[in-house]
Structure 1
């Protein structure tokens, strides 16, 4: 894996329930699962989610938009993350790893997570846009 020097750190607030979710993203290019001749560029990403609010929250679902870098945007929705719906008390954090395969050496991802508080209030926490960039040696010249 080739680690990219990219971390997004944007606290997100929801005034209705005093929830504050901080999301950090770190990306990696995965050359062993990539093939530029087949327009296949694999990336891993590590997400760190921290509850900076006053209430316990549970991550219920995810919504991703993946810009393939060629004009196509793939939308992904699903329950939880990597098969889990973590519960975060105030001050707690959760970290997971996942990945995406795109059709070009440069793309982007963004989206949001759906949370519910211990009081049953639902809110969405935006995931900041982050870039998927293959190193120069993996970018074909046309």
Structure 2
């Protein structure tokens, strides 16, 4: 596993999202055009109300500019409640057919009163040792 250089971070409506991508050398097969990354996400509730992560939206772009959009309920099979001052953390993964790309998106969060709001997932680079250049 190749550790990324730094975490990417964004704070929206009192919720901080930090992402750390990792290139998975052992899962990838560059000769076959298969490149895999894991990314660790920390979602911290900096506000004073409990929030629930209801859904996710990802936009994944490879180095050729091809984009895939992914929508789904929750993350890693959960719709976590995050109390004030607490952090929810999970790890997931993404494949690409190119040696680099980037991802970003948003989470739909709900407050106890049922109101919904969007939280930014910061865009982050997916760079492998096989990248000819960094995509940002």
TM-score, normalised to structure 1, is 0.89
In the alignment of these two chains, the number of paired residues is 132
1:78 aligns to 2:72 (yes or no): yes
- Equivalent residue of 2:31, what SS? helix
Map 1:1-142; keep pairs closer than 5 Å: 1-13=1-13, 20-135=14-129, 138-139=130-131
Question: Partners in 2 of 1:139 and 1:58 — Cα distance?
Answer: 37
Question: Partners in 2 of 1:115 and 1:73 — Cα distance?
Answer: 24
Q: Deviations over 1:13-68 (max 9, x none)?
A: 2xxxxxx1100000100011111111111000000000001111000000000002
Contact 2:10 2:120 in 1 (8 A): no
**Which of structure 1's runs of 4+ aligned residues deviate more than 4 A?**
none
Per the TM alignment, residue 103 of structure 1 is displaced from its structure 2 partner at its CA by 1.1
Larger Rg: 1
Per the TM alignment, residue 115 of structure 1 is displaced from its structure 2 partner at its CA by 0.6
Would the alpha carbon gap of residues 122 and 97 (structure 1) be closer, same or farther in structure 2, given more than 3 Å must change?
same
- Equivalent residue of 1:85, what SS? coil
Per the TM alignment, residue 139 of structure 1 is displaced from its structure 2 partner at its CA by 4.0
Per the TM alignment, residue 10 of structure 1 is displaced from its structure 2 partner at its CA by 2.0
- Equivalent residue of 2:7, what SS? strand
Gaps of 5+ in 1: 14-19
Cα RMSD, aligned residues only = 1.1
Question: Partners in 1 of 2:86 and 2:120 — Cα distance?
Answer: 18
Gaps of 5+ in 2: none
